[in-house]
C-alpha cells in the first residue's frame, strides 16, 4: 500500500504539538537542584581531563617519596616526574584549546570535530608513550625482581605485569579509536552529498 | 535562591519543553529522559555564566541539548538500536490506528542518522532553515537539501 508521506508528515507535525502539550511539567529547579549541582557527573571528556590532571599531580610527589624511601634511582624519579609534568602541560593545553567550559555551546558539527580531534590526539600520544611506559615498567620490574626471593615470584610478576600493561593499552586504544570512528561517521553525515 | 539562579530558573521554565522534546527524540525510556534532562540542565547552568549572548538564547539551548544528546547517543549506540523508539510519547485521546501510524513514523525517524534526526526534530519544532543551520553548523542550502532527502528516505522506509 502506497503511503502519502507528505500527508503523514503534516499529521506528525500537528501530533507533535499535541505531544509537547502533554509533556509533564517538572519543577526540578529549586534550592535542592542547585545544591546537588556539584555532585552531578561531568561530561565524559571533562572527567577524563580532570582525572588525567589529578593523576599527573599525584604522580610527582609519589614517585619522589618512593625513590627516597625504597632506594630507587633518583634519575628514574626525575624522569617520571618530568614526564608527568609534560603530560600535565599538554593536558592543560588541550583542555584550553577545547574550551571545556564552552564545549557544548558551539554548533553540533564544530563540537563533533573538536571531540574527534581530542580523541585522535590522545590515541596518538598513547602510541607515542608506549616506549617510555615500557622503559618505566622495565625498571620497576627489575627492582621488583631484585627483591623477589624465588623463581615463582619472578614469573608471577613478569606474567601479571605484561598481561595487565598490554590489556590496558589495547583497551584504551580500542576505546579511543571507536570514539574517533563514531565522530567521523557523524561528521560524514553533515556533508552535502 | 539568588538573582542569577532565579534568572536561570525563569529561562529554563520558558524552554523546558524544548529540552524535553530533544531528550525524547534520543530516548524513549522515561528514566533516561529525566536523567538526560537533568544532565542538560547542569551543562546549561555551567555555561550560563559565560553565555555571551552572541547567539539567541533558544539557539544556545538547542545547541547544548543536541550536543549532549548526540554524544550520549554515540556512547549508547547499541542500546539505542534495541529500543522501541517513540513509546515515550503520550497516546491519550488518539485513535488506535492514528496512534500506530504516529508510532511507526517516529520509528522511521529514529532509524535515521543522528544528524538527519536532528534536522527533522528542529524542523518539527518550527525553526527556520537559518536557525537549523546555525545550530547544526551546516549551510541553509544543506538544510533544505537534507530535508528533501529525509522525506524521500522516509517514503522509501514506509514502502518496505
The Cα B158–Cα B86 span in angstroms is 16
| Cell numbers given for A130 | 608506549
Report CB contact under 8 Å: B142, A192: yes
Mean pLDDT rounded to a whole number for chain A:
77
DSSP state for residue A37 in the 8-state scheme:
G
8 A C-beta contact, residue B133 and residue B151: no
Domain boundaries, chain A: 44-190
* CATH classification code of B1-81: 1.10.1740.10
Return the closest-CA partner of residue A187 out of A105, A124, A122, A110.
A110
pLDDT for the residue A5? 60
pLDDT of B62-99, one tens digit each?
999 998 888 888 776 544 443 333 444 445 555 666 66
Residue B139 with chain A: CB contacts under 8 Å: 192
User: What's the angle, vertex CA B141, arms to CA B136 and CA B144, rounded to 5?
Assistant: 80
Using a CB-CB distance cutoff of 8 angstroms, which residues of chain B are in contact with residue A8?
Answer: 101, 105, 158
| Mean pLDDT on A127-155 | 80
Q: Average pLDDT, stretch A62-82?
A: 86
- Pick the more confident residue, B133 or A150: B133
A97-129 pLDDT, tens digit each: 777 667 777 888 888 888 888 878 878 887 888
Which residues of chain B from 53 to 72 reach within 8 Å of chain A, CB to CB?
60, 63-64, 66-68, 70-71
- Integer Cα distance of A21 and B99 in angstroms: 16
What is the rounded average pLDDT of the residues B144-160? 79
* Chain A contact probe: residue of B57, B74, B122 with most A CBs at under 10 A: B74
Q: Residue A1's pLDDT is what?
A: 46
- Closest C-alpha to B79, from B37, B117, B29, B34: B29
Cα–Cα distance, B121 to B144 (Å, whole number): 14
A25 pLDDT band, cuts 50/70/90, is low
Which residue, A115, A175, A46, A187, is CA-closest to B71? Answer: A115
Check if the interface score ipTM surpasses 0.90.
no
Hey, where are the domains in chain B? Answer: 1-81, 94-160
- CA-nearest of B127, B123, B130 to B154 is B123
B38, closest residue in chain A (CA to CA): A28
What stretches of chain A show up as alpha helix (H) in DSSP? Answer: 5-22, 31-36, 44-69, 74-98, 108-128, 130-147, 151-190
- Assign a CATH topology to domain B94-160: Arc Repressor Mutant, subunit A (1.10.10)
pLDDT of residue A26: 53
**CA pair distance B45, A18, nearest whole angstrom:** 29
Name the CA radius of gyration of chain A, rounded: 25
Q: d(Cα B153, Cα B143) in Å, to the nearest integer? A: 15
Amino acid at each position: 500500500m502506497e503511503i502519502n508521506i507528505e500527508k503523514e508528515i503534516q499529521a506528525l507535525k500537528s501530533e507533535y504539538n499535541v505531544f509537547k502539550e502533554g509533556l509533564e511539567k517538572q519543577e526540578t529547579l529549586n534550592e535542592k537542584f542547585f545544591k546537588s549541582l556539584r555532585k552531578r557527573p561531568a561530561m565524559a571528556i571533562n572527567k577524563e581531563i580532570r582525572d588525567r590532571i589529578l593523576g599527573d599531580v599525584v604522580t610527582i610527589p609519589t614517585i619522589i617519596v618512593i625513590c627516597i624511601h625504597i632506594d630507587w634511582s633518583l634519575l628514574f624519579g626525575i624522569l617520571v616526574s618530568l614526564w608527568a609534568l609534560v603530560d600535565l602541560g599538554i593536558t592543560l593545553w588541550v583542555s584550553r584549546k577545547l574550551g571545556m567550559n564552552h564545549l557544548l555551546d558551539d554548533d553540533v558539527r564544530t563540537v563533533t570535530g573538536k571531540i574527534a580531534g581530542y580523541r585522535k590526539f590522545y590515541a596518538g600520544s598513547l602510541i607515542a608513550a608506549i616506549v617510555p611506559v615500557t622503559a618505566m615498567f622495565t625498571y620497576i620490574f627489575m627492582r621488583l625482581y631484585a627483591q623477589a626471593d624465588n623463581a615463582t615470584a619472578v614469573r608471577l610478576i613478569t606474567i601479571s605485569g605484561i598481561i595487565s600493561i598490554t590489556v590496558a593499552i589495547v583497551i584504551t586504544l580500542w576505546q579511543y579509536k571507536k570514539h574517533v570512528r563514531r565522530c567521523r561517521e557523524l561528521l560524514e553525515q553533515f556533508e552535502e552529498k | 535562591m539568588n538573582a542569577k539562579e532565579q534568572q536561570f530558573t525563569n529561562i529554563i521554565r520558558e524552554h523546558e519543553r524544548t529540552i524535553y522534546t530533544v531528550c525524547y527524540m534520543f530516548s524513549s525510556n522515561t528514566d533516561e529522559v529525566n536523567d538526560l534532562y537533568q544532565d542538560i540542565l547542569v551543562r546549561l547552568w555551567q555555561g550560563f555564566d559565560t553565555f555571551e549572548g552572541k547567539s539567541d538564547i533558544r539557539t544556545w539551548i538547542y545547541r547544548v541539548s543536541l550536543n549532549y544528546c548526540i554524544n550520549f547517543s554515540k556512547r549508547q549506540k547499541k542500546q539505542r538500536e534495541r529500543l522501541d523508539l517513540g513509546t515515550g510519547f503520550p497516546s491519550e485521546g488518539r485513535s488506535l490506528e492514528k496512534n500506530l501510524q504516529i508510532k511507526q513514523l517516529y520509528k522511521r525517524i529514529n532509524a535515521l542518522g543522528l544528524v538527519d534526526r536532528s534536522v527533522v526534530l528542529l524542523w518539527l519544532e518550527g525553526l527556520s532553515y537559518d536557525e537549523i543551520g546555525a545550530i547544526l553548523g551546516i549551510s541553509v542550502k544543506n538544510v533544505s537539501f537534507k530535508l528533501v532527502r529525509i522525506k524521500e528516505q522516509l517514503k522509501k522506509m514506509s514502502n518496505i
